[in-house]
Structure 1
Amino acid sequence: MKLDSKYFDSIRLSSKRSQGAKKETRAPLCQWKGCEKPGPHKAPKGRGRDGEYFHFCVDHVRQYNQDYNYFDGMSDAEVNSFRKDALTGHRPTWKTGANAWAHGTRDGSRTEEAAARVAESTVRMARKVRSSRTAPSAFRRQLKPLERKALKTLDLGDDATREDIKTRFKELVKVHHPDANGGDSRSEEKLREILQAYNYLKQAGLV
């Protein structure tokens, strides 16, 4: 655009100062009694009037905030109750173990059905716990050849339990004890094998 253009004179530039003045004049007047300054600063109107604000100038909003008391007009008991409820965001709370049906916040017609489901799930959980307790005792690692030989010496199979081994050991000791067999050398040798087999099984952790 040329400087001598007829459009050049129609251009108007507004300064930042003039824009700021316009913004300042748009602000509402200070609501402090006797003050005629703009009031761009908000101040809450108080308890029970949430979302409502006064408009003050900077001097009067500071003064208002210094004297502001949200709990004005409340008794000590009401203040303590408010502070206690503030810990949970003023939401309803219940004692441990209480449910929503007990406080009337849900349909009571489904209370029995819900209780039945809880009882059923409890029974299933108890069964799982009992089965988990008995499962490890039924498990046995793979036996070694010498362990199988020791069990065979006691006339037992690979699936013999600790109680089976102890019971059979006591029975065989009574049968082959010198006092019971009249000093038979074959029984003494058999008793020696039984003792060795039992001690080996004990060292292996099977007894």
Structure 2
Amino acid sequence: MMKRRNTRHRAFDPDPDAPQRCCDMPDCEKPAGYRAPRSRETLNQYYWFCLEHVREYNARWDYYKGMSPGQIEAHLRADIAWDRPSWAFGQSAKPRKQTFDEEDVLDPLDILGQNRRSRAERAKSRAQPAAPEALREPLATLGLPWPVTLEDAKARYRSLARKHHPDANNGDRRSEERLKSINVAFTVVRAHLTSQGLEKAG
């Protein structure tokens, strides 16, 4: 049975990203396998030492060297908040809005957008008069909104008749049946608009 090879680094193993060079400590010719920050202001820039000298460097390292007690306290407070400004509980950096604004909410699935659209559609439907009961099915068949003018109904009828005429669909029976229902629906709508004097109603 093969033993599983342990790929974890031990605590004092050299850094696998260490450059192939000698220790940065003067007069040291040992391989540089351990990094240490150059200063408090340049934490992403490093010295590269051997194990012995990195231990010496770390023992002498004082991050707060040269800072006054007040500066140290301010630095610690900034670290607690990840160097971001903070305010007392219940306060904010900008005046608090009295009403909820959906635009301030992250909405990657566009859930709020769908809600806004549905509310707009409901408001629009409330603003428009409802179609007479006898016209609802014919209007749905023609795909027309209400109110509608006779000119619009005629234009829609001609478009649907050309699309579903059997001659344009290789004599398909389904197209023929669809055209019959379109003819009946248009006849009902035309008769209603003519009788009510709504030929040019908007």
Q: Aligning the two structures, in what range does the TM-score lie when normalised by the shorter sequence?
A: 0.3 to 0.5
Q: Please identify the structure whose Cα radius of gyration is greater.
A: 1
* TM-score, scaled relative to structure 2: 0.38
* TM-score, scaled relative to structure 1: 0.37
Between Structure 1 and Structure 2, the one with more helix by share is: 1
Query: Which structure has more RCO (C-alpha within 8 Å, separation ≥ 6)?
Result: 2
